Amino acid sequence: MNKTRAGISLALAAMTLLSACGNGGGNNDGGEAKGSGPASSPAASGAAGENAGGKLKPEKLKIVLYGDESNRMKELAKTEFNDIVKKEINAEIEFQFLPWTEYGGGKTDLMLSTGEDFATYTDTNYMVKSVAKGLYADLTPYMDGPAAADMKKTVDDNSFKAFQLNGKQYAVPVGNKPNSGEFYSALVRQDLLEEAGMQSVSSLAELEQFYDKVHAAHPELIGFAGTDARRMLMYEYTDKNLYWQNDFLAVDESAKDDKIISWFETPEFKAYAQIMRDWYKKDIIPKYAATNTPQLTSDWNSGKAMFWSGTAARPFEGAAAISQAVPTAKLENDFLSRDLPKISRGTYSTAWFVSANSPDPERYVLFFNLLQKNQELYDLFAYGIKDKDYTLDENGRLARLTTDSLVPDWLLMNKNFMRFDKTVSEDFIQKYKAWDDDAIISKTAGFNFDNAPVKNEETKINGVFSEFLVPIASGFVDYDAYFPKALDKLKAAGFDKYMAEYQKQFSAWYAAKNG
């Protein structure tokens, strides 16, 4: 997903979610979707209302989820989950779990190509490729009718637009969470910061000072638990408000134009690469990162790192894991030299698609709607049975009685319904709710690139990226010594053709949107 996703790196099973996060969302009309289900269809005759299940013919639904299925999930899928879906929309539901390696390809592609009837989640890139092959059902007819009525109140309009192609809705967004400025903040160990006699970091110099002080006291700790800080450091090396479309291309959100920027060919990349090189030399990025990147995440989760790239939710998501190793750990988001608005792509967590051969895609939409319909249903799918899987105190704070995951927390995350436990302060909850208040929606939101004309070139430049550009961008090797060869390789792979095709498609889309 941005999993910006994206890819989707969704190791959020350790989330500890707490009391209802306020009533965000609201007046959403689902974007540009047009029409509604035919008047004779069950959903169009009021299927989304109370006890609507009795008005629908029986149906069977298969929902594919990724990761490991817990024992408690198996139990609930056969009992309470199945019972409520039967009551609400007269469907029997089967949850099938696949390994994450099968997401966006593998068995998922096989199931689509062989015509299986199922639904699962997608990202925009996978959607574009799959729609081009005719593998996703068009869900447009159900977007303005009762089938999607409840989710329209709790999932924002831009999130729906993100999963449209040529005005048609091919996936239904789920989730509503503050996510602007993803990875543009520094997520710092506030407990270590205070131990070093500091309260916050607001510049690159202060961040490095924080590292120096903590390293002197705790040489066993690493500095940055990552290898990509281009967003976190952006306000230090450019006055542009850069927003990346992928590893190669960006736009300047402060410019009212349709220009696509070749990131690696900018002076900003050179400046950024120099900062990362300095960090690597100073061991702010540990030397093992060059050959063992996954170890960085392990060190962060075990409390052995000082800072990471932040998101609105990471201070409480991350604390759930780190506090097991370091009970006194506290996390805070700090922006470095930020004087530009945060950028948002929409507030969705991911989006559901329905396979093209499904005989009743509308029934799947009704199921998606259940997940974001009201507090009672959200609590059931996210947390289980009250007083058996979780308890709530007088303030609505959550305490889990089982550690088994159900429908993944990260997938459902909706600020209208999500709950927090007692470890999350009211101050943080208020900051979280207000996180998007000064954000702007990216001018690229809703644009989906069709890579078919340059698919071969894209494959080649991805190879160049991994072999030649990542080491420079991560500071492992010197920019001046290695970049000329890397650029030659990039051009030889067909980057200029890829760039031109991307610019052509975006310019056409941008002109239509703003015309």
Q: What is the per-residue pLDDT across 111-157, written as a single tens digit (0 to 9) for each?
A: 999 999 999 999 988 998 899 899 999 999 999 999 999 999 989 88
Residue pair 377/371 in contact by the 8 Å Cβ criterion: yes
Per-residue confidence (pLDDT) for residue 173, from 0 to 100: 94
Q: 3-state class of 59 per DSSP? A: strand
Order of strands across the sheet that contains 249-252: 242-244, 249-252, 261-262
Cα–Cα distance for residue pair 125/6, rounded to 1 Å: 9
Q: Is the pLDDT of residue 34 over 60?
A: no
Res. 105: pLDDT tops 80: yes
Q: What is the mean pLDDT of residues 244-254?
A: 96
- Residue pair 156/393 in contact (Cβ under 8 Å)? The answer is no
Residue 429 CA to residue 397 CA, distance in Å, equals 12
Q: Residue with structure tokens 């067909």?
A: 494
Backbone φ, ψ for residue 61 (5° rounding): -120, 140
- CATH numbers and ranges of domains, the chain: 45-177+349-383 (3.40.190.10), 185-344 (3.40.190.10), 453-514 (no CATH)
Task: Give dist(CA 198, CA 125) in Å, integer.
Answer: 42
Query: Residue 38 above 60 pLDDT?
Result: no
pLDDT(487) > 60: yes
Question: Over the stretch 446-479, which tens digit does the pLDDT of each residue have?
Answer: 898 988 899 999 999 999 999 999 999 999 999 9
d(CA 312, CA 329): 18
Q: Cα separation of 477 and 290, whole Å?
A: 10
Lowest average pLDDT, out of 145-154, 285-294, 317-326, 419-428, goes to 317-326
Looking at per-residue pLDDT, the higher value among 445 and 307 belongs to 307
pTM: 0.79
Whether 306 shows a pLDDT value over 60: the answer reads yes
